[in-house]
Every structure is written in structure tokens, then in C-alpha cells.
Amino acid sequence: MFRNVVILSGAGVSCAAGIPDFRTPGTGLYDNLQRYNLPEPEDVFDLDFYRNNPRPFVSLVQELWPGQNKHKPTITHSFIKLMDKKGILRRNFTQNIDGLEVLAGVSEDKVYECHGNFRTASCVDCKSDFGGERCKRAMLAGIIPTCDHCGGPVKPDIVFFGEPLAPQFSDLVRQDLPQADLLIVIGTSLKIPPVCLIPELVKCPRLLLNKECVGTFGPGSASPGPLDLFFECECDAGVRKLCQMAGWETELDSIHATQA
């Protein structure tokens, strides 16, 4: 029985909630940003671009901001909650900024949102606290918030290109990964460092639930582990299969029913 499970989750876990991933051709978020006439779609999350033109991001977050009852936790989020409830979740490192893990009831101290969240906000220039709720009210009204102290642009505390991850990320990696007895990677392309390096830092069995084999899981990789498993699947179908095998499907459905 595993006792210290680390879950690394990406945008794929939230697709069933109606939140597009970033890179799927035709439906991914980057493909759907064409209406903003950006030089590159990634510019909507670029710090220098935001300083000069925050309007595309402000328009985008009117759809993405959590807590508007537009998006609800998926079966996969309920699976993470189930692992937490059973006391075997060491940590969920999520690359997502939608906050659905916390909304699903996963203990906040068990979730590390690697790329930040919308619950707090600060000035891009002087870093003064602005207040998450205040930033939310402004942006959902289409207003670009500015700092009370220096007049600089304000944004929620999500990590943009050009910004480092918080030091806590490295601290938790050093604490959690040596203790992990199972790593489950779900719904990610494993392309954005440093988070994508997590699977290379564990010594335990690794399970990938994904639509494609990525990172060091493939047979052609330089460092596939002897206990690696890859299950080609949609995220929700994959975690349901795991729960069926473990005899946990009824518990999974019971938890998910509370999310409706």
C-alpha cells in the first residue's frame, strides 16, 4: 500500500471542466487567443508584454477567473481529494491556475500551485499587495487595476513568463520527492521547466495518465524507469480505472457528487 503519493497534474485535468488546455491544436487556449492579435499567443502571459498592454490578459481572465460558477472540479480533482481523504497524498504539485483542487476540497497544505493562483494580487513593479478580491472586482468589470503606491500595473499572483517560481517550490521538491513511494503524472505535456523535471527527480514507481506518452516515460527515453507505467487515456477515465482496480469507485463518485 502506498503511503506517500505525489501527484503532478497539468492542464488536462481541467479540460472536462470546460477549461481548455494550452497547446491542443484547434481547441487549446493559445489557438483561441487569435482574436487579441497578439504577436505570439504566449504573450498574454508575458510580463513585459503585460506591462505595455494588459488589456488582452484582463479580457482573458474574465472567462478564466475561478469562483464564477463557470467551471467545477472534475472526476480527476475528486480523485485527488480521495487520495487526501485516505491520508496517502503527500503533495499535489499542480501546474494549473484555476484553483479547482482547493475548490474540490483538497487540503490547501497538500496542494502546491506551482504557477500561482488568483487568490492574491500585487503590483508588477513594486510588488505591493493589492488584494485578490479587489483585483478580481476590477478585472471582471474590465478595468485594468493600478498600484496605489507607484501607479504600476497590478495582476493576480500567477507566474508569468519572465517570473521565477516561488522559493517554496524548491523547498517542497527537496522535502517531498525523496519520501515519495509513487508518482502519478496526469494530464500534462511535461514541457515547462522546472516543474516538468519532477518525474526525473524521484526514485519510486511512476504512473503516467495522459493522452500521449511524454517526458522520460517513453521507451526511447534516455532514462525510463523499470517500474514506469503509461496508460493512454483521458484523465477522468484513467483515474476512474484506478479506482475500479482499488475498489474505490463508489467513494470517488460520492465525493464527486458533492461537487455538482
Alpha helix segments (H runs only) across the chain: 47-52, 55-64, 75-85, 100-103, 132-140, 167-176, 235-246, 249-257
Coil, helix or strand at residue 6: strand
- Tell me if residue 149 is catalytic: no
Q: Are 6 and 206 in contact (CB under 8 A)?
A: no
* All three cell numbers of 31: 489557438
Catalytic member of 71, 77, 115, 256: 115
Neighbouring-strand partners of residue 208:
185, 230
How far is it, in rounded angstroms, from Cα 113 to Cα 115? 6
The contacts of residue 231 (CB under 8 Å, 6+ apart) are 207, 208, 209, 210, 238, 241
Annotate 66-127 with DSSP letters as a single string.
Answer: TTSSS----HHHHHHHHHHHTT-EEEEEE---S-HHHHTT--GGGEEETTEEEEEEEETTT-
Nearest Cα neighbor of 212 from 1, 7, 5, 12 is: 12
- Annotated catalytic residues are 115
